[in-house]
A and B are shown apart, each in its own frame.
Chain A
Amino acid sequence: MSFLKSREAILTGAIVALLALVATRYGAFIRPANLAAVFNDTSPLIILALGQMVVILTRCIDLSVAANLALTGMVCAMLNVAMPGLPIGVILVVALALGAALGAINGLLVWKLDIPPIVVTLGTMTIFRGVIFLLSDGQWVNSHEMSASFTGFARHVILGLPVLSWIAILVALVMLVVMTRTPMGRALYAVGGNPHAAVYTGINVGRSQFIAFVISGMLAGLCGYLWIARYAVAYVDIAGGFELDVVAACVIGGISIAGGIGTVGGAILGALFLGIIKNALPVVDISPFWQLAISGAAIIIAVLFNARADRTKGRVILKSAEVTQ
């Protein structure tokens, strides 16, 4: 019974209802091949949402993910142009390492200097974008400049799904194990659930937040390469504003912005929900310009929903007095 009331069940129901609604207008949308294409298109969002989930669990937020993605992607693209023979394995390592390093900058500022995460990541968001401009001199890296193996990797089909989709599945499985089966995962939940109690349990709160930012950065870096490879173009404004979609996916997935509450399944379903809407809009003849407003409305509705879910638990009396003022 409790599963039926869980966020995952509600979201699964909402996704099925959404698909049914789209199918009434355009039946081919729910053909397996198209659903696989939608999943592939949503894969970067899923990967980023999983990273963002870890950060939000520890009561932080990472608004620099899209800029991190764009910067790492640009570096990978320029690396490929400079050294076309470089194996994809090396590029992947560079992407993961650079992404993690950029995440570590956020993490260190939050951990060592105690600066609010929103300020840190708003700042690094613009700094990363500016650095892309400095690196690329505002130039685009186009598909004909990239090597075939560089752009082909993400699109290579194995067992009916492109590598991009498989990577998203792999990341989801790894995160599931890390969050539910390791001491580190428990520590990340504990830090967000009650930082004071976490300290007394021997968990270093700042260090856990640092780790969360590194994970988020690393996944953003990975997406950076995959994004550039998939779309075969790199420029300053790539994935502009995508951080809002990522936060939206998490909030829709039931991850509490107050920290400590949220699951890997929720983040994936939240991302899929947004991904399906995005892919369904053109099919049902709604202008893609609706996308931004729908994301925003989804964030607000989801956060209202989360707040109602939180309220069923014990509440401090004063809090309600404050609210009713």
Chain B
Amino acid sequence: MSMADHRPRSIPDQLTTPLARALKSWESLLLVVAIGIFILNSFASPYFLNAWSLSDATFNFTEKAMIAFAMALLIVAGEIDLSVASIIALASTAMGVALQLGAGTPVLVLVGLGTGLLCGAFNGVLVTRFGLPSIVVTIGTMSLFRGISYIILGDGAFRGYPADFAWFGQGYVFWVISVEFVIFALLAVVYGVVLHKTNFGRAVYAVGNNATAALFSGIRVGRVKMILFLLTGLMSGLAAICLTSRLGSTRPSIGTGMELEVVTMVVLGGVNILGGSGSIPGVVIAAFVMGLVTFGLGLLNVPGIVMSIFIGLLLIGVIALPRLWAKLRRA
């Protein structure tokens, strides 16, 4: 073991960052990549540089990014939630059931958010009260939540959502600025402030860097993690509202595989998968990068499953390349 391993881990979220270091940061690298993809896209397809096209492109990431913000905090705190896509399925199914019982839009929204919160609470209790590893718990709830949707819906679907419910996924606030994009932007600010400017945010980093030390510093580790699981569930409920509203129907297979894209977005945004470091601006830029890549490929008629190869490569490559680089430099 080298001496470097014995130095205490510094908390990476610096309060004052010199300009030179900011330019070399992961976020600015990502920004360059995002701009590069933007320019490539505009050369690749004549339909790309158009206000409505660009507005459409945002739908590729807004729902996933809502979850990614909460997931980023959860991963920084050293936990993970793989059940988010299944929470979407269950929340959407619950809304469908409420719809059958004659619920209006306000009730549907409450049902969606409430189901998400309950699912998050279920994960959180299992992890914090019973001390179970979050990976296994959420692999289990990933089957359980979607399984309940299948029990309720079988191979059927819920349709006929009220017209005003469509506002969330299909509405526009102003010209080409969609409702979903506004929710995304507001959440980006809220989560950025929470993680980087509040005591709670500092506690999240502390828990992720060293849970034992955090406990001795008077941080309620279990409570911090519980809140983060609740937030992730709530955001999945919100994403379920937007997705259901956009698609106009609920099937039990809704959002399958989305957990992978959310985790990829968070990791691409520079959040350490082992916990302890990461930033919200990074996740925001990563959301744009992923949205632009998938939209660009879509314009080039690349099928969805081939895009998933890119997402998988992106997820592994983003973690592998810096480590490979560090290894080569050391050698």
Contacts and interface: CB of A to CB of B under 8 A. Distances in A.
Contacts of A112: 327
B143 A248 contact: yes
A3 interface: no
Nearest to B212: A318
A293 B144 contact: yes
A4 interface: no
A292 B80 CA distance: 21
Contact of B141 (A109, A124, A300): A300
Pick from A131, A133, A294, A300 the residue with the most CB of B within 10 Å.
A300
B263 A299 contact: no
B129 A293 contact: no
A130 B312 CA distance: 9
Interface in B145-159: 145-148, 150-151, 154-155
B197 interface: no
Nearest to B320: A113
Interface string B287-311: 0000000000000000101101101
B215 A325 contact: yes
Given A126-B257, A130-B305, A322-B212, A303 B316 contact: no
Contacts of A248: 140, 143
B131 interface: yes
Given A109-B316, A113-B320, A130-B308, A292 B143 contact: yes
A304 B132 contact: yes
A226 B36 CA distance: 46
B306 to A, nearest CB: 6
A307 B131 contact: yes
A107 B89 CA distance: 33
A303 B137 contact: yes
A297 B144 contact: yes
B140 A300 contact: yes
B117 interface: no
Contacts of A61: 135
A13 interface: no
Interface residues of A, number: 52
B148 A124 contact: no
A200 interface: no
A125 B62 CA distance: 24
Interface residues of B, number: 54
Nearest to B226: A325
A296 B140 contact: yes
Pick from B139, B154, B311 the residue with the most CB of A within 10 Å.
B139
B264 to A, nearest CB: 8
A114 B309 contact: no
B131 A322 contact: yes
B324 A122 contact: no
Interface stretch (A82-90, A263-271, A283-291): A283-291
B188 to A, nearest CB: 24
Contacts of A244: 139, 142-143
B184 to A, nearest CB: 24
A235 to B, nearest CB: 12
Contacts of B303: 133, 138
A126 B309 contact: yes
B35 interface: no
A115 interface: yes
Interface string A307-321: 100000000001101
A133 B145 CA distance: 28
Given A123-B313, A318-B212, 5 more contacts: A116-B274, A133-B303, A248-B140, A295-B147, A300-B141
Interface of B: 80, 126, 128-133, 135-137, 139-148, 150-151, 154-155, 211-212, 215, 220-223, 257, 260, 263-264, 267, 273-274, 303, 305-306, 308-309, 311-313, 315-316, 319-320, 323-324, 327
8 closest residue pairs by CB, A with B: A293-B147, A296-B143, A296-B144, A325-B222, A299-B140, A130-B309, A292-B147, A127-B312
